[in-house]
Chain A
Amino acid sequence: MSDQSHALIATAYSVPFAAIAGVPAQAHPAPPAQGKLPKLAPGRLPTGAILLGPVALVVLWELASLTGWLSPKFLAAPSTAVFTGFELLQSGTLADHFLASAGRAYLGLGIGVAIGLLLALASGLSRIGEASIDGLVQIKRAIPTLALIPLAILWLGIGEGMKVALIASSVFVPIYINTHAALRGIDIRHVELARSVGLTRSAFLREVALPGALPGFFTGLRLAVTTCWTALVVLEQINTSQGIGYLMNRARDYGQTDIIVVGLAIYAVLGLGSDFAVRFWERKTLSYRKALAS
């Protein structure tokens, strides 16, 4: 590894030297532009450039629909979907379905985050906690949430409670895993420092352990805000007449691909929006890290 990087540096430096001395540079295959060192990693994207892929897809899709190559029975055109979405919005239907879904998702998210955090603290800060909790969560992690639906229905019925409980049970896992890992990975030198200034255990938790685990918690939260919507689509096929999932399933029965596309777009926007919001919050909370990058 280190040999390799030395070789790279040696090559990189010998290019300008050869140029200065007027020695033909044939010893160095394909030297880059005059005196410049080769960029070994791709540069940063300009802002907005990440949209290239999605925009190209929508344009191609619209063209395929316009030329009749893509039948509306198979998939509605983006423009039709925008129009339908606008209509649903004006009639108030969309808002009702959206609020019903958002209520379930975010209630489940809130409960799941709280449970995940509590379990992670119990397991990350005490050996008895870790011995009793960690194995169970690892097992839970291996079982897909949707496989729990039959049992959840038997125990909790087919109402809202079951839906929120299943969402919470899928959300707490990424919160637990990442927060727990961050707590276990606490810097031993910080522990030693805390001992040397005579910190109490509770002050240690407050001032060292928890702030140190915060980056891990945020990683978990970014996963959780998208996970909470994943289970919803399936859950909203069960005993409900409200929610984005219900709307999409009914649209399937009637072959309304435009409404299905509206539902998918809402999920995409919500997922990206939630992720953006968490990242914004993370950047504000962990602003001390900025100094590292600059």
Chain B
Amino acid sequence: MNASAHPLHLPKADAPAVSLRDVTRRFSGRSVLGPVSLDFAAGEFVALIGKSGSGKSTLLRAIAGLDDGVEGDGTLTVPADRSVLFQDSRLLPWKSVLQNVVFGLHAADSNARGRQALADVGLSGREDAWPNALSGGEQQRVALARSLVRQPRLLLADEPFGALDALTRIRMHDLLFRLIRQHRPTVLLVTHDVDEAIKLADRVLVIDEGRITLDQPVSLAHPRARHPGFAALRGELLAALGVTDPI
């Protein structure tokens, strides 16, 4: 997309899907990110948690190639077929739900794939509705369909469920978990929610003041919500976030 500011190299088959070396970002002289060096394996589900302002979105936007200001001294290797799922659904109000799902998709069978993606998120029959006529949770499901219909090798999600109510959020966790099993993209999920991170991720990263302070693999068996190891891991992650005595 922006080849000069964001060099893209397709990784070799055995190479990590995403690779960052000394990536940094400054805003008017103030270092906000890094240097960060990370590798994500193909198909790995990585959750990134951290306090507000710790640099989560900055890191995700750098990987997404949406940030033109990332400095050139580091290297960033990212698959070209990646999707971004934003906190707001970002549907175009003048396009129907189906048109939004296939937005920017150029395939002969776009519409058929779009319909299937909508069916996958439980929105069959709403193809021709206007986005404004959908509830917030439904809109976010359309956004999820839009990011998965491309069958990306890398899915970047920035607090995609942050604006949803608790009940819808639990449903969305199950939905996301089920859908990514189909094509197994590498996933980077930015979240505030420690429980969400433990429930979904193979690996949890904690970021603080632009640096990765904890890189924690999660090996608990699914489903994890009532797993005996859950609470211990939760306490550990919260401690890394500076919360030592949660009530």
Say whether A190 contacts B92, CB under 8 Å.
Answer: yes
Which A-chain residue is minimally distant from B143 (CB atoms)?
A193
Which A residues lie at the B interface, using CB under 8 A?
189-190, 192-199, 203, 207-208, 211-212, 214, 286-292, 294
- Please indicate the chain B residues that have their CB under 8 angstroms from the CB of A294 in the complex: 133
Say whether A196 contacts B84, CB under 8 Å.
Answer: yes
16 A–B contacts from the bound complex (CB under 8 Å): A189-B86, A190-B90, A190-B92, A192-B90, A193-B86, A195-B66, A196-B84, A198-B1, A199-B104, A212-B94, A288-B93, A288-B130, A288-B132, A291-B131, A291-B133, A292-B93
Give B142 Cβ to nearest chain A Cβ, in Å.
12
Say whether A194 contacts B104, CB under 8 Å.
Answer: yes
Q: Interface residue tally of chain B, by bracket?
A: 20 to 34
Give A194 Cβ to nearest chain B Cβ, in Å.
7
Say whether A196 contacts B132, CB under 8 Å.
Answer: no
Give B47 Cβ to nearest chain A Cβ, in Å.
20
- Please indicate the chain B residues that have their CB under 8 angstroms from the CB of A196 in the complex: 64, 66, 83-84
Which B residues lie at the A interface, using CB under 8 A?
1-2, 64-66, 83-84, 86, 88, 90, 92-95, 103-105, 130-133, 146, 150
Which B-chain residue is minimally distant from A294 (CB atoms)?
B133
- Please indicate the chain B residues that have their CB under 8 angstroms from the CB of A192 in the complex: 66, 86, 90
- Please indicate the chain A residues that have their CB under 8 angstroms from the CB of B131 in the complex: 288, 291
Give B193 Cβ to nearest chain A Cβ, in Å.
22
Which B-chain residue is minimally distant from A287 (CB atoms)?
B130
- Please indicate the chain A residues that have their CB under 8 angstroms from the CB of B84 in the complex: 193, 196
The 10 closest A-B pairs by CB, nearest first: A197-B104, A291-B132, A291-B133, A196-B84, A211-B94, A288-B130, A193-B90, A291-B130, A292-B132, A199-B104
In whole angstroms, what is the CA distance A214 to B133 when docked?
20
Instruction: Choose among B65, B66, B92 the residue that contacts A211 (Cβ–Cβ < 8 A).
Output: B92
Q: A189-B86, A208-B92 are in contact. Are A197 and B105 (CB under 8 A)?
A: yes
In whole angstroms, what is the CA distance A244 to B91 when docked?
49
- Please indicate the chain B residues that have their CB under 8 angstroms from the CB of A193 in the complex: 84, 86, 90, 92, 103
- Please indicate the chain B residues that have their CB under 8 angstroms from the CB of A207 in the complex: 92, 95, 103
Instruction: Choose among A197, A198, A199, A288 the residue that contacts B94 (Cβ–Cβ < 8 A).
Output: A288
Which B-chain residue is minimally distant from A285 (CB atoms)?
B94
Say whether A289 contacts B66, CB under 8 Å.
Answer: no
Q: A288-B93, A292-B132 are in contact. Are A198 and B86 (CB under 8 A)?
A: no
Say whether A203 contacts B104, CB under 8 Å.
Answer: yes
Which B-chain residue is minimally distant from A215 (CB atoms)?
B94
- Please indicate the chain B residues that have their CB under 8 angstroms from the CB of A198 in the complex: 1, 104
- Please indicate the chain B residues that have their CB under 8 angstroms from the CB of A289 in the complex: 93, 132
Give B117 Cβ to nearest chain A Cβ, in Å.
14
- Please indicate the chain A residues that have their CB under 8 angstroms from the CB of B132 in the complex: 288-289, 291-292
